[in-house]
């Protein structure tokens, strides 16, 4: 995995050492000798993550970290603080300033590279979500991973040592809701249904490989993106590095400092909630791309792609296919006489009646303006004609309310029916046959269904 790593340190030998280690792993390295220069590089988007020294003159690492994490433009950048400070209170201060991890000098090469790869994976995944969600503008306006306080999370604790469970629960329960599971198999079964914000897993489970549990959680769709924090023994560095390679998000070495546990839990929960917001935004964006905002029906773009698929299936001998084109009669008069707001009310109500009148297998789309299309797979022309008549009657039988119910008007619809035959080779031909039938329906007096005559 490649990526651009910014190394920030005021001492040239330290910069050169880290640059050589990272370059040997085919990572691109950018360097800065002070905080303000590092901020400029980050704001120009020239790095994917930061290795940040704490003890620098002028603007120290804590200040740089807080600045970057409080800026919507740079809040998503992973930051690892690299320093000679090694007390739990120093790590907590770094985590509370927004750092994703804290490495102590002299830095172990294997641990450094495992953490860099892990955070780059997270960064690239977040970037993809932000792109798909179209979230760049939202982030500029203030949405960032640090918006959430990371409190009141639902945490799954997998640990079979009662003394350890008691200590961890005492630390967490003032800020979070903790579900305890001593049986790893039961944890694997319950985790997908628990809607957890974080899983904390002991690496010292009796008779069960904790790494296998982590891998299994990553393999399940419902828990694939669940943050995992592992609790490790001091002499178990090799397995911690393996855990990071498997996709574990963070780790703590026993004995566990209470404040550091709380800080790391809040960091992971904030990140989890941010990624959930991004995924929800992405789903909304995808829905908006194929949905008409006025009627909440599928739009013309979705119709075009779906029609081609249904035609291919029908042409391959997997059922008939019919298509209806519907046009609201004299719709221009509604807009001219009652205003465009009233016209929008009619279209919304028309869409609701249309959805109620068709069958579950039918696809209803707004084609544009006052025109609508219904795709009817596995349907012959006789059944399609009956459905079309039901739609026409449903529209005509009851007046439409406008001006928020203060007035009613009568509305009718003309419908053209086209049926796929073997001579048709493109969606346009099927659309044209229904459109010709619609033209006849309007010429023959409107408020009627006409089937295209082959």
Asked if residue 321 lies in contact with residue 376, where contact means CB atoms within 8 angstroms, the answer is: yes
Q: How high is the pLDDT of residue 146?
A: 59
Topology of domain 148-281, per CATH? Answer: Rossmann fold (3.40.50)
Task: Give CA–CA dist 301/7, Å, rounded.
Answer: 46
Q: How high is the pLDDT of residue 316?
A: 62
Phi, psi for residue 379 in degrees, rounded to 5? -135, 130
**370 in active site:** yes
Beta bridge partners of 179: 156
Topology of domain 300-451, per CATH? Answer: Alpha-Beta Plaits (3.30.70)
Q: Write down the catalytic residue from 19, 260, 345, 370.
A: 370
Task: Give CA–CA dist 338/409, Å, rounded.
Answer: 10
Q: How high is the pLDDT of residue 142?
A: 42
Q: Which pair of tokens denotes residue 15?
A: 């910069």
Helix axis angle, 258-290 to 109-133, nearest 10°: 30
Of the options 3.40.190.10, 3.40.630.30, 3.90.76.10, 3.40.50.2300, the CATH number for the domain spanning 1-144: 3.40.50.2300
Which residue reads 């249309």 in tokens? 354
Domains 1-144 and 148-281 share a fold: yes
Global pTM?
Answer: 0.65
Q: What are the boundaries of each domain within the chain?
A: 1-144, 148-281, 300-451
Instruction: Report CA-CA distances (Å) from 171 to 101, 167, 175, 203, 355.
Output: 20, 6, 8, 19, 54
What is the full per-residue pLDDT of the chain (454 aa) written as tens digits?
A: 578 999 999 999 999 999 999 999 889 999 999 999 999 999 999 999 999 999 999 999 999 999 999 998 898 899 999 888 777 788 788 888 888 888 888 888 877 888 888 888 888 888 877 776 664 444 443 455 656 788 999 999 999 999 999 999 999 999 999 999 999 999 999 999 888 999 999 999 999 999 999 999 999 999 999 999 999 998 888 898 899 888 899 889 899 988 889 988 998 898 899 888 887 777 777 777 889 999 999 999 889 888 988 888 887 655 689 999 999 999 999 999 999 999 999 999 999 999 999 998 899 999 999 999 999 998 999 999 999 999 999 999 999 999 988 899 999 999 999 999 878 888 999 999 999 999 999 999 999 999 987 6
């Amino acid at each position: 995995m490649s990526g651009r790593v910014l190394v920030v340190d005021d001492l040239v030998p330290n910069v050169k050492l880290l640059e050589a280690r990272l370059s040997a792993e085919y990572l691109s390295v950018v360097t800065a000798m002070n905080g303000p220069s590092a901020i400029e590089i980050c704001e120009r988007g020239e790095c994917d993550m930061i290795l940040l020294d704490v003890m620098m003159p002028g603007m120290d690492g804590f200040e740089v970290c807080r600045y970057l994490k409080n800026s919507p433009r740079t809040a998503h950048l992973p930051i690892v603080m690299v320093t000679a400070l090694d007390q739990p209170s120093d790590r907590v201060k770094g985590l509370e300033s927004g750092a994703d991890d804290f490495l102590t000098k002299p830095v172990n090469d294997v641990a450094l590279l495992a953490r860099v790869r892990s955070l780059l994976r997270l960064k690239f995944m977040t970037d993809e979500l932000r792109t798909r969600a179209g979230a760049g503008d939202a982030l500029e306006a203030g949405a960032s991973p640090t918006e959430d306080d990371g409190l009141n999370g639902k945490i799954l604790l997998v640990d079979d040592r009662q003394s350890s469970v008691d200590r961890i629960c005492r630390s967490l329960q003032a800020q979070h809701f903790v579900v305890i599971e001593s049986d790893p198999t039961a944890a694997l079964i319950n985790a997908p249904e628990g809607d957890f914000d974080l899983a904390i897993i002991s690496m010292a489970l009796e008779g069960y490989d904790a790494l296998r549990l982590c891998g299994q959680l990553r393999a399940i769709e419902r828990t694939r993106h669940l943050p995992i924090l592992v609790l490790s023994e001091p002499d178990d560095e090799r397995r911690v590095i393996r855990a990071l390679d498997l996709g574990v998000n963070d780790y703590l070495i026993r004995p566990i400092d209470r404040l550091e546990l709380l800080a790391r839990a809040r960091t992971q929960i904030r990140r989890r909630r941010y990624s959930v917001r991004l995924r929800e935004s992405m789903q909304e964006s995808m829905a908006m791309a194929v949905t008409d905002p006025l009627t909440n029906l599928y739009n013309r773009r979705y119709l075009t792609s779906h029609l081609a698929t249904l035609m291919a299936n029908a042409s391959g001998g997997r059922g008939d296919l019919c298509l209806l084109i519907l046009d609201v009669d004299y719709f221009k008069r509604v807009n001219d006489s009652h205003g465009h707001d009233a016209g929008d009310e009619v279209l919304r109500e028309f869409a609701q009646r249309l959805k109620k009148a068709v069958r579950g297998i039918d696809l209803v789309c707004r084609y544009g303006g006052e025109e609508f299309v219904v795709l009817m797979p596995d349907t012959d022309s006789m059944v399609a004609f009956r459905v079309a008549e039901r739609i026409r009657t449903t529209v005509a039988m009851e007046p439409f309310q406008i001006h928020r119910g203060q007035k009613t008007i009568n509305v009718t619809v003309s419908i053209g029916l086209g049926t796929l035959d073997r001579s048709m080779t493109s969606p346009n031909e099927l659309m044209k046959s229904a459109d010709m039938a619609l033209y006849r329906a309007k010429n023959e007096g409107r408020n009627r269904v006409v089937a295209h005559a082959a």
